[in-house]
A = this chain, B = another copy of it.
Amino acid sequence: MSKLRFAMFGTGFWSWYQLAGWVETGEVECVALYNRTKDKALKLAERFGIPATSVYDDPAALLANEKLDFVDICTNVETHFPFTQMAAAQGLAVVCQKPMAVTLDECERLVETCRSAGVALYINENWRWQHAIRQYKRALDSERIGRVFRAHIDYRNSFPVFDNQPFLKELEQFILTDIGSHILDTARYLFGDAVTLYCQTARVHPDIKGEDVATVMLTTESGATVICSMSYATR
Binding site for B on A (CB under 8 A): 146-147, 149-150, 152, 196, 198, 200, 202, 204, 213, 215, 217, 219, 223-225, 227, 229, 231, 233, 235
Contact = CB atoms under 8 A, between A and B. Distances in A.
Contact of A217 (B146, B204, B215, B219): B215
14 contacts: A146-B235, A149-B213, A150-B213, A150-B215, A150-B229, A196-B200, A198-B198, A198-B217, A200-B219, A202-B224, A202-B225, A213-B225, A215-B225, A227-B227
Contacts of A217: 198, 200, 215, 217, 227
Nearest to A149: B202
Contacts of A233: 149
A171 B83 CA distance: 57
The 9 closest A-B pairs by CB, nearest first: A200-B225, A149-B202, A215-B225, A198-B198, A149-B213, A217-B217, A149-B204, A200-B219, A227-B227
A229 B227 contact: yes
